[in-house]
Amino acid sequence: MNAIIKDPSASLVPFKARLDAVTDPARRAALGALHRVGLPDRRVEAWKYTGLRFLNETAFATAPQEIDRVKARAELERLGLTLGEAASLPRLVFVNGRYAADLSVEPENVDLTFFSKMQAFGSLSSPDRDALTALNAALATDGVQLTVPAGIDAGRLLLVSLGQAADPISFHPRHSVTLENGANLSLLCVQSGEGRYLHNPVMELSVADNARLQHLTIQTEGDDAACLATLYAQIEEHGSYDSFVLGLGAALSRHEVHARLNAAHAQVHVNGAQRLQGRQLGDVTSVITHAAPDCNSRQTVRNVLDGQSRGVFQGKVLVERIAQKTDGYQMNQALLLSETAEIDAKPELEIYADDVKCSHGATVGALDDEQMFYLRSRGVPEAEARQILIHAFLAEALGLIPDELAQTIATRIMELRFPVTGEA
C-alpha cells in the first residue's frame, strides 16, 4: 500500500487569501514555518483526539472594522461584567480581536501598550513548533502588552474578548503579561460571542522572582465558534502562576498551556473544568516543564459531558535532570451524563531526575443513583436534581480558583449557560 503524502498547504486553504497578502518579514518567517508543517491533523500525536475539521469546512474572512457597540455593551451586562462588584474593575475589551477603547476602563497602576502599535512578538512562543501559534503570528492584528512594575499589587483586571460574526471570520489576538519582581495581579479573561468564527489567541506570561499571577479564563464562546487558545508561561524563583480555565462554549475548543518552572521554589497550578453538551469538543492540554530543583506543579481538571460531546485531557509533566525534589501532581475526573459522551485522557510523566514525587490519576463515572434517589424522594424534580449534583461536582473544582470574586463570576456565567433549575 502506498503511503499517504500530506500536503501541508492544503490545510491552509481557509486562510489562503489572507496569508498570501502577508509581507512583514517577521510574519513571513512564521508563515514559512506554517507552510512547512500545515495545520495539525490527527496523525500529530498532540492532536490525536482533537480534529480541526471545523476549520477545513469554512473560509474565514478578516474581521470587519465596524462592530455593534450596542450589542457588545449588552453582552458585557448579560455576563455580569458591568454589574455589582465587577463593575468597578478595570477592563480591556476586544471585539473581533481589536481593542475597543470606548468599552474599556484602563488600569492605572500598570504599563500598557497594544500590539497594533508595537507589532513585536514575544520570546516565549514557538511559531516554528506550534502551527496555531504560527497562524497567529502571521495574522495577528491587535492585543495587549501589560507590565506590572516591581513590588506593585495591581489588583484585578478583566480582559474580555467578544466575537461578532455575521459571516465566518477569524481573529488572532496577541497578548503579553509581565510581572516584575514581587508584583501581583489577578487576571480574569472572559471569552464570549455569537456567529461562526475562529478565535485563535496567543498569550505569553512572565512571572518574575517572588511575583504572583492568578489567572482565570472563562470560555463561553458562541455555539458555532471555535476557540483555540495557546498560552506560554515562565515562572522564576519563588514565583507563582495559579491558573484555571472554565470551558463552557464553542463547538470546538482547546486550551493549551506550556508552563516552564525556571528557578528554585517556583510553582504552577494549571486547573480547570469543562461542561459540554450536544456535539461539543473541548480539549485541555498542558505541558509543564520542571527545569529547576525544589519546584511544584498541580493540575486538577474536571469534566461534565452530556449528549455526544467529547472531552480531552492531555497533561504532560517533564522533569529535567537538574530538577531534583520536584513535586508534581495531576488528576483528571469525568462525569458522563449519557452513553454517547466520551472522555479521552492521556496523562504523561517524563522524568529524568531521581529525587522526585510525581503522580497522576484519572476517574470516570456517572451520577450517583443514591444521591439522585435522596433528592427525588424529597420532591426535587429529576432535571433539577441532576443539575444540583452536577453543580456540586463542578463547585469543588471551582473552589480551586483562589480569587473569591473571580470564583463568583465564574459560577454566575456557568449558571447563565446551565441554570440549576430547568432542563439539562
Q: What is the pLDDT of residues 58-90, one digit of tens each?
A: 889 999 999 999 999 999 999 999 999 999 999
Tell me, yes or no, whether 336 lies in a domain: no
Given this model, what pLDDT does residue 209 score? 98
pLDDT at 424 exceeding the cut of 80: no
Instruction: Tell which of 208, 229, 263 closes a domain.
Output: 263
pLDDT at 362 exceeding the cut of 80: yes
pLDDT at 16 exceeding the cut of 80: no
Tell me, yes or no, whether 207 lies in a domain: yes
Tell me, yes or no, whether 84 lies in a domain: yes
Q: How far is CA 328 from CA 144, 205, 286, 313, 354, in A?
A: 32, 21, 13, 17, 13
- Expressed as residue numbers, the domain containing 131 is 8-263
> Under a CB-based contact definition with an 8 Å cutoff, are residues 402 and 156 in contact?
no
Number of domains the chain is built from: 2
User: Parallel, antiparallel, or unpaired: how do β-strands 184-194 and 202-207 relate?
Assistant: unpaired
Tell me, yes or no, whether 174 lies in a domain: yes
| 234 and 379 together in one domain | no
Q: What are phi and psi of 357, to 5 degrees?
A: -130, 100
Instruction: Tell which of 248, 263, 278 closes a domain.
Output: 263
Tell me, yes or no, whether 248 lies in a domain: yes
Tell me, yes or no, whether 357 lies in a domain: no
Residue 7's pLDDT band (cuts 50, 70, 90): low
Better-predicted residue by pLDDT, 118 or 178: 178
Given this model, what pLDDT does residue 20 score? 80
How many whole angstroms from its chain centre is CA 342? Answer: 20
Q: Which of 42-51, 53-62, 406-415 has the lowest mean pLDDT?
A: 53-62
Residue 128's pLDDT band (cuts 50, 70, 90): confident
pLDDT at 4 exceeding the cut of 70: no
Tell me, yes or no, whether 29 lies in a domain: yes
178 HSE (CA, 13 A, CB side): 13
For residues 395-422, average pLDDT: 90
C-alpha cell at 214: 492568578
pLDDT at 191 exceeding the cut of 70: yes
